[in-house]
Structure 1
Amino acid sequence: MPDVEPGPSARQVELLEAAYAYALANGLADLSLRPLATAIGSSPRVLMFLWGSKDGLIRALLRRAREDELTFLSRLDPADGGAPDAGSPDGGAPQDLAGAVELVWSWLAAAEHRPLLRLWAEAYARSLVEPGGPWAGFARTTVDDWLADLAARQPASERDAPDGAARRTLALAVLRGALLDLLATDDEPRVTAAVALQVSLLRAPR
């Protein structure tokens, strides 16, 4: 029988969740193990033992942030019934790109999600300038995750059309640009109006 690697201990899970809450509140750019350990009731030695290095801990925190992102996306998965949406005839996830942009933006624009989204923006930017560090691949992975979800929103005729990939790439670019604007200005009404305009363009006859 092949060996099965043991999963994380309850204490490791507890410390990771506490470190994740700390990262949401303080960011990762200037993360130092000693203040983090003090804040979560541990020690740098224990953190080094559990994650091998500071970079190892950062990678674990980025994976934890991605779990939150994928949990949200999974709730929009048509195969699973999706999140309830008034614009969908059967009450399930929207089956068009415009509806997906509306639903995703309503989540991104919610004030309670700002800490996670600031952490996402920080990790996205760092992965572009430090491709060999613990941030490696984060930006590309998040692009792939979101494009896959947007593709799942498109009817097959649109998804497989010559401009299908371009349309979902444009939708992602609008969402990402609007998010960065919102994080910079906190001007939610203006940014939401811009997203609504883009949604109307997506719904315009082709």
Structure 2
Amino acid sequence: MPTTKPVPNSKAGPSARQQELLERAYAYSLTHGLADLSLRPLATAIGSSPRVLLFLFDSKDGLIRALLARARADELELLRQIEQGYDEPPGLTVIARELWTWLAAPERRPLMMFWVEAYGRSLVAPDGPWTDFARSTVDDWLELLEASEPDQSAARRTAVLAMLRGALIDLLATGDLDRTTAAVEDYLAE
């Protein structure tokens, strides 16, 4: 669940309005990115006001943290679905192929662009709202890859993860699904 502040005078989690605006802001950020996020156009696009967003999320950084948590929730849900699809560890190659299919799907391009942007920002602005985003995603994916084939070396899992991420960045830059998929298959065949 996204980490957002509770509504004042409430011991419960985020309000329905806060969740609704977070989902709308997330959809907006998937198509517009986060690099030049400005509260006024965002608020207008999602049917709110900058003041309401600041009240609900404390600050622009608080909103960005909530958006990153929301994106990470999508990623973690994918990992859970893949893990639950097998009674026994399926092997690193099987999981890598499943991950590539999911990552490369055209309907996920906006989410993947968002992910690349957030990943890069967390490397160059590690003390802002992006704190630990890149590291957390590395840990999440490596954990899944380890569960898929526990006897495989950490070096091999890291290499598979690096290959998938490199192929994804290449795909996003060029749109060449056939070439990047062929590269993934070639690497996994080794």
Cα distance in 1 for partners of 2:60, 2:104 equals 32
Cα distance in 2 for partners of 1:81, 1:30 equals 39
**Residues 12-161 of structure 1: matches in 2 within 5 Å?**
12-77=18-83, 80-82=84-86, 95-154=90-149, 156=150, 158-159=151-152
Conserved 8 A contact 1:81-1:93: no
Aligned counterpart in structure 2 of residue 193 of structure 1, from 172, 182, 185: 182
Cα distance in 2 for partners of 1:138, 1:196 equals 28
**Structure 1: stretches of 5+ with no match in the other structure:** 83-91, 202-206
Runs of 4 or more, structure 1, over 3 Å off, are none
Cα drift, residue 109 of structure 1: 1.0
Cα distance in 2 for partners of 1:71, 1:42 equals 28
Cα distance in 1 for partners of 2:121, 2:163 equals 21
Cα distance in 1 for partners of 2:101, 2:85 equals 18
Cα drift, residue 81 of structure 1: 3.5
Cα drift, residue 94 of structure 1: 6.1
TM-score normalised by L of structure 2: 0.92
Residue matched to 2:13: 7
Q: How many residues align?
A: 181
**Structure 2: stretches of 5+ with no match in the other structure:** 1-9
Describe the shift of the 1:146–1:101 C-alpha distance in structure 2 as closer, same or farther (beyond 3 A).
same
Cα distance in 1 for partners of 2:142, 2:130 equals 20
Conserved 8 A contact 1:175-1:195: yes
Describe the shift of the 1:18–1:93 C-alpha distance in structure 2 as closer, same or farther (beyond 3 A).
farther
Conserved 8 A contact 1:76-1:93: no
Aligned counterpart in structure 1 of residue 158 of structure 2, from 169, 172, 178: 169
Cα distance in 2 for partners of 1:40, 1:117 equals 22
Identity of aligned residues (%): 62
Conserved 8 A contact 2:89-2:147: no
Cα distance in 1 for partners of 2:11, 2:144 equals 31
Cα distance in 2 for partners of 1:126, 1:110 equals 24
- Aligned alpha-carbon RMSD (Å): 1.3
Residue matched to 1:181: 170
TM-score normalised by L of structure 1: 0.85
Cα distance in 1 for partners of 2:172, 2:159 equals 20
